[in-house]
Amino acid sequence: MARWGMVIDLDKCTGCQSCAVACKAENNVPHGSPEEHERRTAPFWHKVIAVSNGEYPAVRIDLIPMPCMHCDDAPCVTVCPAKATYRREDGIVIQDFRRCIGCKYCIVACPYGARSFNYKEPEEKEYHRPDLPPERADRGIWPFPHRVHGVVEKCTFCFHRIDQAIREGKKVGEEVVPACAEACPAHAISFGDLDDSDSNVSRLLSSRQWMRLREEMGTSPKVFYLTG
Would you tell me which residues interact with another protein (CB under 8 A)?
Answer: 36-41, 47, 49-53, 60-62, 64, 66, 75, 77-83, 99-105, 107-113, 115-121, 142, 148-152, 213-214, 217-218
Cα 214 to Cα 44, 105, 125, 169, distances in angstroms: 20, 20, 33, 36
Contacts of 101 (CB under 8 A, 6+ apart): 81, 82, 84
Min dist. Cβ of residue 93 to ligand SF4 (A): 4
108 binds ligand SF4 (CB under 6 A): no
Cα 66 to Cα 36, 69, 222, distances in angstroms: 20, 8, 12
Instruction: Using CB under 6 A, pick the residue from 2, 19, 100, 158 that binds ligand SF4.
Output: 100
Instruction: Using CB under 6 A, pick the residue from 29, 93, 94, 162 that binds ligand SF4.
Output: 93
Determine if the peptide bond prior to 134 is cis (ω within 30°): no
Instruction: Using CB under 6 A, pick the residue from 2, 8, 74, 94 that binds ligand SF4.
Output: 74
Instruction: Using CB under 6 A, pick the residue from 80, 94, 165, 188 that binds ligand SF4.
Output: 80
Cβ atoms of residues 219 and 111 within 8 Å = yes
Contacts of 201 (CB under 8 A, 6+ apart): 5, 6, 7, 173, 190, 191, 192, 193, 194, 224
- Return left, alpha or beta for 55; rule: phi > 0 is left, psi -120 to 50 is alpha, else beta: beta
Instruction: Using CB under 6 A, pick the residue from 16, 21, 63, 103 that binds ligand SF4.
Output: 103
Site for ligand SF4 in 132-191 (CB under 6 A): 152, 154
Min dist. Cβ of residue 72 to ligand SF4 (A): 9
Instruction: Using CB under 6 A, pick the residue from 183, 191, 219, 226 that binds ligand SF4.
Output: 219
Report the alpha-carbon distance of residue 19 to residue 223 in Å, rounded. Answer: 14
Of the ranges 23-31, 54-62, 82-90, 183-191, which one interacts with ligand SF4 (CB under 6 A)? 82-90
- The DSSP letter of residue 183 is H
Count of chain residues binding ligand SF4 (CB under 6 A): 28
Smaller CB separation from ligand SF4, 132 or 203: 132
Query: What, of another protein, ligand SF4, none, does residue 41 touch, CB below 5 to 8 Å by kind?
Result: another protein
